[in-house]
Amino acid sequence: MSRISVKGRRVWVTGASTGIGRAVTVELVRRGATVIVSARNEPALTELARECGEDRVIVLSFDVTDRRANQRAADEIHRRLGGLDLTFFNAGICEYVDVRKFDSALFERTMRTNFLSMVYGIEAVLPLLRQSPSPQLVGMSSTVAYGGLPRAEAYGASKAAIKNLFESLHIDLLSDGISVSVVCPGFVRTPLTDRNDFPMPFRIKADEAAKRIVDGIEAKRPEIHFPKRFSLPFKLLTLLPSRWYIGWCAKIVTQP
């Protein structure tokens, strides 16, 4: 599959106020894209636009869990830029489950923010992408989508749902000429992972992750996973018989 540069393309990034979303925005602008940035934290987005150049970054602050707000955002993007070429749906949260105090509300929050927000966004942007000469749809999942991990019942389920969704879309949107990619990173240094209370092997910086993500987007890779020294062995582990995989997880993952 041929590569396509992001230079000159109109890109929408959600969850852009911090972490990977912010770093990807900076990398996209560095490579010549015009980026619409979304999150609830408007001051952080405004600062990002100031840093990157307000002629290259458009702030569009809203709550991604609101279906109608996603549609209004897509309408505003069309009004401001005349269309859209690439979306990177990245907004998400992480809450860990304590099975001694199992809370369904935690699952609802996680699925609404991580998974349903992408469904709403996809619904809103597909008409715009179908009009682009080089449309791409990209979503943020995680290596945890490959297999269950302790305390990740909610977060892992949401990321597995995203991975499955984007793999299905990759097939169904072939006839529309829309390239679809899912991003499955290992541990990346962000405000989200800074709160983790367990070992995070091979954790990389957000700007390094951003370069790998944008490289994968330009290469139109169906699955963008990294760092390979973590993601590949973890992929292989999930191919083991379930009893072996579960036993391995129980031994090496620190639990409270």
Cβ-in-10-Å burial (0-12, 13-18, 19+) of 54 comes to exposed
Phi, psi (5° rounding) for residue 160? -65, -40
Residue 96 falls in the annotated catalytic set: no
In a domain, 2, yes or no: no
Lookup result for tokens 């894209």: 33
Give me the pLDDT at residue 172, please.
98
In a domain, 1, yes or no: no
Give me the pLDDT at residue 202, please.
65
What are the angstrom distances between the C-alpha of 138 and each of 46, 48, 115, 213? 24, 21, 13, 10
Q: Give the separation between CA 84 and CA 60, rounded to whole angstroms.
A: 14
Give me the pLDDT at residue 103, please.
95
E strand intervals along the chain:
10-14, 34-38, 57-59, 86-89, 136-140, 179-185, 188-189, 204-205, 223-226
Q: pTM for this structure?
A: 0.91
Give me the pLDDT at residue 254, please.
46
The alpha carbon dihedral of 58, 82, 66, 20 has a sign of negative
In a domain, 3, yes or no: no
Give me the pLDDT at residue 213, please.
97
In a domain, 73, yes or no: yes
Lookup result for tokens 């983790």: 196
In a domain, 4, yes or no: no
Q: Give the separation between CA 163 and CA 108, rounded to whole angstroms.
A: 18
In a domain, 117, yes or no: yes
In a domain, 5, yes or no: no
What angle do helix axes 117-129 and 67-81 make, rounded to 10 degrees?
Answer: 30
User: CA gyration radius for the chain?
Assistant: 18
Question: Domains in the chain: how many in total?
Answer: 1
Q: Which domain holds residue 242?
A: 10-252
Q: How many other C-beta atoms can be found within 10 angstroms of the C-beta atom of residue 30? A: 14
pLDDT tens for the chain, 256 residues long, are 578 999 999 999 999 999 999 999 999 999 999 999 999 999 999 999 999 988 999 999 999 999 999 999 999 999 999 999 999 999 999 898 998 999 999 999 999 999 999 999 999 999 999 999 999 999 999 999 999 888 889 999 999 999 999 999 999 999 999 999 999 998 777 766 657 666 666 678 989 999 999 999 999 999 999 889 888 888 888 888 988 888 877 776 544 4
Question: Of 53, 77, 55, 60, which Cα lies nearest the Cα of 127?
Answer: 77
Q: Which one of 96, 120, 155, 245 is the catalytic residue?
A: 155
Q: Please state whether 83 falls in left (phi above 0), alpha (psi between -120 and 50) or beta.
A: left
Give the CATH number of the domain where residue 124 resides. 3.40.50.720
Q: Which two tokens stand for residue 39?
A: 């999150």
Q: Which two tokens stand for residue 202?
A: 């091979």
What are the angstrom distances between the C-alpha of 218 and each of 12, 34, 195? 15, 15, 32
Lookup result for tokens 């408007």: 42
Give me the pLDDT at residue 255, please.
43
In a domain, 47, yes or no: yes
What are the angstrom distances between the C-alpha of 117 and each of 2, 81, 190? 30, 22, 21
Task: Tell me which amino acid residue 197 is.
Answer: D
